[in-house]
Amino acid sequence: MRISPHSSPVVSYYFPKSVGAHHYGERHPMKPHRLALTNALVMGYGLDKQIHHIYDVRPATQTELEAYHDHDYIDFLSKVTPQTQNEMREMLDQFNCVEDCPIFADVYDFCRMYTGGGLHHAKRGEASGFCYINDIVLAILELLRFHPRVLYIDIDIHHGDGVELAFYQGYYVSYSIVSKRAHNQNVIDYERDQIGTRDERPNVTLRIQSP
C-alpha cells in the first residue's frame, strides 16, 4: 500500500552570488570560491529545474547578527581591516581572530553575506574554526519564533560545537551530529550525550562519528 506524504516537498536554494569572491588568504584551507563552483555544478547538472525557489539572499543586518552574538564582537568585526589589525592586536586575541580565523579584506561584508550558509563553529563572542558568525544559531533562533522545538541535523567532518554550546541548556533544540571520528578509526560510534534529568541535561544529542 502506498502512503501519500502529508505535504508536497518544496525545495528552496539560497546562494549569495558574490560570496565566492572573498579570500581568507593564499595558504588558508578555507576557500569561499568553492561555493561558486558548487553553484556552477548545481546549474550545470540541471538541478535547478528541481528547485522551487532560488534566492540571492540579502546581507544580514547588525541587529540580526546580534540576536546571538555579543555587540562588542560584532562591532569589532565591522571595524577591523587588514590595515588596522596591528593596532587592534589585543582585540584580535580577545575575539580569537588569529590563525584559523584571519582578518582579510571586507571580512565583515563576507560575514553579513554568508549568514545563512552553515558555518557552525563560531561562539557568541569569538570566531572559531574558520567561522566568524554562527548563522545556524541565528536561523534556529528565528525558527523558534514560530515553532516550539527545532531538530538540527549536522553532517560535517567536524563536530558542530558552536551550535551545541549555544543550546546546551535549552529545552527546545535537539541535534543530531554526524562527524568524522578522530584518528581515522574504522568504526562508527553512537554516543548519546549525558541525558540525565531535565535540570541536568534538558536537551538530547545523538552524535554519530564515522570513518
Looking at the fold, whether 139 and 156 belong to one and the same domain comes out as: no
Where does a domain end: 143, 164, 179?
A: 143
Looking at the fold, whether 75 and 137 belong to one and the same domain comes out as: yes
Looking at the fold, whether 17 and 72 belong to one and the same domain comes out as: yes
Looking at the fold, whether 139 and 194 belong to one and the same domain comes out as: no
The whole-angstrom separation of Cα 91 and Cα 106 is 18
Where does a domain end: 108, 143, 178?
A: 143
Mean pLDDT across the stretch 21-44? Answer: 92
Listing DSSP states for 16-61 in one string gives -TTGGG--S-TT-S--THHHHHHHHHHHHTTGGGG-SEEE-PPPPP
Where does a domain end: 96, 127, 143?
A: 143
Q: Please give the model's pTM, rounded to 2 decimal places.
A: 0.76
CATH for 12: 3.40.800.20
Query: Could you identify the residue written with the cell 588596522?
Result: 84
> Tens digit of pLDDT for each residue in 193-204?
433 333 444 455
Looking at the fold, whether 78 and 15 belong to one and the same domain comes out as: yes
| Of 146, 166, 135, the residue nearest 64 (C-alpha) | 135
Instruction: For residue 127, tell me if it sits in a domain.
Output: yes
Length of the chain: 211
Instruction: For residue 1, tell me if it sits in a domain.
Output: no
The three cell numbers of residue 114 are: 554568508
pLDDT for residue 176: 65
Instruction: For residue 3, tell me if it sits in a domain.
Output: no
Examine the pLDDT at 192 and tell me if it is beyond 60. no
Instruction: For residue 123, tell me if it sits in a domain.
Output: yes
Looking at the fold, whether 205 and 159 belong to one and the same domain comes out as: yes
Instruction: For residue 182, tell me if it sits in a domain.
Output: yes
Quick check: 68 and 141 in contact, CB under 8 A?
A: yes
pLDDT for residue 163: 87
Least trusted range by pLDDT, from 44-48, 85-89, 179-183: 179-183
pLDDT for residue 7: 67
Segments forming the whole domain that contains residue 182: 149-211
Looking at the fold, whether 14 and 116 belong to one and the same domain comes out as: yes
> Tens digit of pLDDT for each residue in 91-145?
999 999 999 999 999 999 999 998 866 678 899 999 998 999 998 899 899 999 9
Looking at the fold, whether 128 and 158 belong to one and the same domain comes out as: no
Instruction: For residue 2, tell me if it sits in a domain.
Output: no
Percentage of residues in the chain with pLDDT exceeding 90? 49
pLDDT for residue 178: 63
Number of structural domains the chain divides into:
2
Looking at the fold, whether 109 and 130 belong to one and the same domain comes out as: yes
Looking at the fold, whether 83 and 165 belong to one and the same domain comes out as: no
pLDDT for residue 132: 94
163 phi and psi, to 5 degrees?
Answer: -70, -45
Catalytic residues, by residue number, are 121
Looking at the fold, whether 49 and 130 belong to one and the same domain comes out as: yes
> Tens digit of pLDDT for each residue in 159-178?
778 888 888 877 677 766 56
Burial profile 106-136: b = 16 or more Cβ within 10 angstroms, e = fewer: ebbebbbbbbbbebbbbbeebbbbbbbbbbb
